[in-house]
Structure formats: structure tokens, C-alpha cells
Amino acid sequence: MDCEAIRKTLTADYPEEKKRWSVMGQSFGGFCAVNYLSRFPQGLQEVFTTGGLPPLVKHPDLVYKYLFKKVAERNKVYYQKYSEDIRRVKDIIRYIEKENVPLPSGGKLSVVRLRQLGMLFGFHGTMDIVHEMICRFTSDLNQFGFFTRPTLTMFDGMMPFDTMPLYALVHEPLYARGNAPAWSADRVIKQYPEFTNVSPDSPNPVFFTGEMIFRDMFNDYDELRSLLETADTLAYADDWPELYDEAQLAKNDVPVYSATYIEDMYVHFDFAKDTASKIKNCKNFITNVLYHDALVHKTDELMKQLFALRDDTID
């Protein structure tokens, strides 16, 4: 609704044939674009999405069940690449469990927050960044017996929730059409033993988590602490509206050009493929060689493919 109001304002003096505009949505931006397509298709010339075809589900539990499996795959890739980090991560957890580790931002370094480094596993080259962080923690423990401020400052800036608290508040409700999320991630994780094992004495590696919102995060991030009551209210609300008009999407006449990633750790390929099949006039570029952030790190390659979809014709 906001985008449509902006379009009408910006194009108020335009001739009628030039009042429609093109929109592009990356990730959650794609969710917004499909919502726009559902509600105000008359304002759209064309739609591009990159890793942003939303799951047409009514509860986040199903989304998480797919994503936990994908995150488990990425953990296995990480530990295969950096097998020595199996021991390092466990040593870090042992220290965290014994000591209270405040962060420069006012937050807390907990096991939950450490494991959230896995959120980075779905981007180009970011496993190396996680490895570097683990090595810095390990180096601090080996040299000083504690974590230094520069190391904690570096860690502090790796997750976005202190600067984007709305991300944590609405992530699960995005998938809850008419249902209460009820802290979905906290419930679904119990179905996956590889994620519930956080003992540093276990023979198995401790898996990192991914794009999941846990209630304990609202104790670990300074900016989120004052929002726990709000988060609980949203978690148990069950009156979330329909975001997507599937009947409208099925008769859509606005051209849609979508990039979908088989290895996407945030918007599962199976959901994206299903959504693409339900949007009429949607052309899909599917690849297993690009990750979720390809729009940023592989811009030329990705846009070439999307423009090829737009410029090609299918008889």
C-alpha cells in the first residue's frame, strides 16, 4: 500500500501510459513485491525478484522444517572445510558456559548467540568470515585466557538485530497467516537432534543455527531486551492477515522475472519453485552456482540472466 501511494504521488503528472513502474525485490523485498503484485497489479509494469519468492504457507513451522535441513547441510560443508573448528567451537562453548561474557554493545555472548554465526553460511564467501571469527576467539583463549575487546567488538557487529530489531520481531509472523507463530524456531529445533546437541563433550560437532529467531535472543541483544513483551505478544497473536492473494496471482498479467537459487539457505528452493508455479506469467532463472546474496556479489552475472528472461520470448 505504501509503495502504491508513493508511485501515485511520483507519477501524478505523468501521461497515463507511463504511470506504471518496475520493481525489484531481494529476499524479503521479493516477499513485498509479491504482496504488491497481489494487491495493486495495476501499478506494475514488471516485477523482478532475487531469492525472494515467498513460501505460500500459513505457519512458520513448515518453513523451519525445510530450513533446518538446509542449514544442517551447510554446517557439514563448513566442518568439512574447517575440521579443526569442531574442537575450537567446543572450547569456546566451554568458556562461555563458565563465564559471563558481556559484549561492548551491552549484549551478551551466549551459546545461542555464538551459534547464530551460521546465519552467514548462505552467502558468497562468508564461511571464511565465520572461520576467522572462530580463530580469533581461539587465539584470545590461548594467549590471554579470555576474549579481548577487539575480538568481542568484531563479533558484536556480525549479527544485525541490534540495528534492525524489527527483523527479529516480524520474521516468524511473516509466515503466519491466521495462525500464532508461538516461537516456532524454539519448538521445531527440538525435532533435529543435530541442533539440540550443544554439549562440548559430545563426539559430534556443535551445529550453528541459521535464520531462526529464538526467544533467548531477546536476552542476548541489548536492543531486543526491552522488546521481549512485544515479541511475546506477536508470537501468540493468531489474527495475522493474508499477505498474498493466490487467486489474483493465478490470473496475473504482469511480467515477473525471478532468480531462484537451489542452494538458498533462507528461501528454500522447494517453496520458491512452488510459488513460481502459482504466479501466472512468471519466468524463472534457476541456478545451483549462486547463493542468496548474488544480487550484491554476482551482480553482473545475475542481472544478465534476469534481463535475458525479460527480453526473450516463448512461443
Q: Hey, which residues are catalytic here?
A: 27, 264, 292
Residue 214 and residue 185 in contact, taking contact as beta carbons nearer than 8 Å? yes
User: Backbone phi, then psi, for 232, in 5-degree steps?
Assistant: -65, -40
Q: Name the nearest CA neighbour of 127 among 299, 293, 302.
A: 293
Contact 213, 172 (CB under 8 A): yes
Helix (H) or strand (E) holding 13: none
Burial (CB count <10 Å: 0-12, 13-18, 19+), residue 68: buried
DSSP 47: E
Distance CA(237)–CA(101), nearest Å, equals 34
In total, the chain counts a number of residues equal to: 315
Q: In this structure, what are the phi and psi dihedrals at residue 24, rounded to the nearest 5 degrees?
A: -130, 135
